[in-house]
Structure 1
Amino acid sequence: MSDNQGPSTPQQPSPGTSPNPSPQQPQQPNKDDKSSSLVNKIQELGQTNVAQMENSNIHCITVVGQIEGHMQLPPQNKTTKYEHIIPQLVAAEQNPKIEGLLLILNTVGGDVEAGLAMSEMVASMSKPTITIVLGGGHSIGVPIAVAADYSYIAETATMTIHPIRLTGLVIGVPQTFEYLDKMQDRVISFVTRHSNIEEETFKELMFAKGNLTRDIGTNVIGADAVKYGLIDEVGGIGLALKKLNQLIDEEKQKNGDMLQ
C-alpha cells in the first residue's frame, strides 16, 4: 500500500537569514573616483604624477606663456596671471619653512606694469632667490629674469630686448609718447640696477636695427646674455639648486652670527 504525498515545497529561509550566506567582501575603491582624480591632475598640471614637495625648503614658481595684466587674454593663450604670482611670493616670504625661491621663466613677455610688479616683488624678498631662463625670457620677462639674487640661462634660451610697444587704441598726442618714454625708463632703470649690464649697452641692444626682421631690438642667446652682463651664468636646474642651497647656507650663517 503506497502513501499518496503531494508535491514537496522548498524550505523557506527563516526571517533575518541569507539564503546563501557568504563571507563579507571588502569594499572595493570606486573606479570612477580614481579616474576623475587622474583627469583633474592631467587638466591642472599636464601630468599624472607630481613629486611631493611638502618637506622642501625651496618654493618653485613658473612664469610661462604671456604675462597677463589688467586685461584678460583669450582662453587659448597660455598665460601667467600676476594676481596669482604675487600672493605666492608673499606666502613664500612669510612662511618660515620656505628658505629660498626658485623662479623658472619661459615667457614671451606681456603686460609691462604686471611684469614690473612681479620683478619688484622678487627683488624685494629677504630670502635667497634664483631665476632660470629656459626657452625664452623675452620683453618684460627680462626684468623678471634679472630681479633675483643670481640668474641662470640655458645655453639655447633666448631673450628679446626691444622698446615698449602699445596695442589697441592710441591717442596720438605728445603726452602719450612722453608716457611711453617714462615707462621705458622704468624698465631700463630696473634692469641696469639688478644686473651687470651698462645702461648704454642695454639701450644699444634695445634700439639696434637689423637684428629683428622689420623691427628694432636684439635677440640675445645663452652665452651672449652672460657676455653682456644681463645674466650671471649659463646653466640649468642642477647649478641653480646648488647655488640656491649655497645662498641659503650663507643666509643661515649670517643670521647665526647676528644672534651671537
Structure 2
Amino acid sequence: MTENTKPTETGGENDSESKDGAQRILDFGAAITRTPHGNVYCLTIIGQIEGHTTAPNTAKTTKYEHVLPLLAKLEESDEVDGVLFLLNTVGGDVEAGLAIAELIAGMTKPTVSIVLGGSHSIGVPLAVAAKHSFAVPSAAMTIHPVRMSGTVIAAPQTYNYFQRLQERIVAFVAGHSGIRAEEFQALMLRKDDMAADVGSVVYGEEAVRLKLIDHIGGLSDGLQCLYRQIEQRKKKPVEA
C-alpha cells in the first residue's frame, strides 16, 4: 500500500486573505471581520497621536497620515458596513487628533467607539466622534486645557491661538456628546483633581453620568450597537 505523501494544498484565496488580514493588523492595528450582520472594520487608536513631528521610536503611536486616508477609503468601500474604533491613547498632537475626530464624525457609515484603558487629552474628542460611544468601567479620560510645549514666544497672539484652539475642542466635544460646553470647560479648569496641573480625570461610569460617553459597555455591547446601526442602514430607503 503506497503512502500518500502529497503535501497539503494551501487555501488559495482564503489563505491570501488571511495573510492580508495579518499584515493589516501588523501595519495599522486593524482587522476586518465578515459577520451575518455585515462586514465590520476594527481600527485601533493607541499610544500617542503622532502629528507633524515624529515621535521617538520607543513610543507606540497612531499616525494621522495613515489614519486619514484609511478613513476616507472605509467611507467609500462597498466591502465595509461599519467601523469599530478601539481606543487606548495618551493623547498627543492636538490638531492631528482633532483632524481624525472630524473625519470620524463626518462618516455616514455606522461607527462605534469603545474606550479601553484610557482616552486622554485629545483622545476625548476621538472617543465622542463616533455615532455611539462606549467605555468600560475601568476606562479613564483626562480632560485638561491645551498645553504649550517647547520654545514658545510669550506674545498675546500665542495665547490667543491656544485659547481659540481650546474653544474648537470644547465645541467639538459638546457638539458630539451630551455634555454642555460650560460643563466640559469646568472639567478642563478644575483645580482639585490633579496633583501638578488643572483638569479632571473621569472614569467610565462617571463619563456616562456626565453624558460625555453614551454607554457603559465592552466589546460585545459595542458590536451589538454597531450591528443595529448596520441593520437600520440597510432598511433605510435609497434616495433618488
TM-score normalised according to structure 2 size: 0.86
Provide the residue aligned with 1:182 in structure 2: 164
Superposed counterparts of 1:152-191, under 5 Å = 152-191=134-173
Equivalent of residue 83 in structure 1, options 33, 40, 65: 65
Contact 2:190 2:200 in 1 (8 A): yes
Equivalent of residue 143 in structure 1, options 100, 103, 125: 125
How far did 1:88 drift?
1.4
Call closer, same or farther: CA 1:106–1:95 in 2, change over 3 Å: same
Q: Secondary structure at the match of 1:88?
A: helix
Matched, 1:239 2:239: no
Q: Percent identity?
A: 46
Q: Partners in 2 of 1:138 and 1:250 — Cα distance?
A: 32
Q: Partners in 2 of 1:75 and 1:115 — Cα distance?
A: 20
Q: Partners in 1 of 2:187 and 2:68 — Cα distance?
A: 30
How far did 1:53 drift?
3.3
Q: Secondary structure at the match of 1:53?
A: strand
- Aligned pair count? 222
Q: Partners in 2 of 1:26 and 1:255 — Cα distance?
A: 53
Provide the residue aligned with 1:98 in structure 2: 80
User: Any runs of at least 4 consecutive aligned residues in structure 1 with deviations exceeding 4 A, and if so which?
Assistant: 25-29
Q: Secondary structure at the match of 1:109?
A: strand
* CA deviation vs aligned residue, 1:207-258 (integer Å, no higher than 9, x gap): 00020112100000010000111000000000000000001111111135x5
Q: Secondary structure at the match of 1:215?
A: coil
Q: Partners in 1 of 2:183 and 2:32 — Cα distance?
A: 43
Q: Partners in 2 of 1:190 and 1:51 — Cα distance?
A: 28
Equivalent of residue 90 in structure 2, options 108, 116, 135: 108
How far did 1:90 drift?
1.0
Q: Partners in 2 of 1:255 and 1:134 — Cα distance?
A: 35
Contact 2:41 2:82 in 1 (8 A): yes
TM-score normalised according to structure 1 size: 0.79
Q: Secondary structure at the match of 1:178?
A: helix
Matched, 1:57 2:39: yes
Which structure has the higher relative contact order (CA within 8 Å, separation 6+)? 2
Call closer, same or farther: CA 1:229–1:51 in 2, change over 3 Å: closer
* CA deviation vs aligned residue, 1:122-165 (integer Å, no higher than 9, x gap): 00001111000000000000001000110000100000000000
RMSD over aligned Cα, in angstroms?
2.5
Q: Secondary structure at the match of 1:200?
A: helix
Q: Which amino acid aligns with 2:69?
A: P
Gaps of 5+ in 2: 10-18
Q: Partners in 1 of 2:180 and 2:31 — Cα distance?
A: 41
The answer to which structure has the higher strand fraction is 2
Q: Which amino acid aligns with 2:52?
A: H
How far did 1:52 drift?
7.4
Matched, 1:201 2:197: no
Call closer, same or farther: CA 1:205–1:52 in 2, change over 3 Å: closer
* CA deviation vs aligned residue, 1:182-202 (integer Å, no higher than 9, x gap): 000000000000000011110
* CA deviation vs aligned residue, 1:26-56 (integer Å, no higher than 9, x gap): 6899xxxxxxxx9xx79x749xxx9873676
Q: Partners in 2 of 1:28 and 1:243 — Cα distance?
A: 41
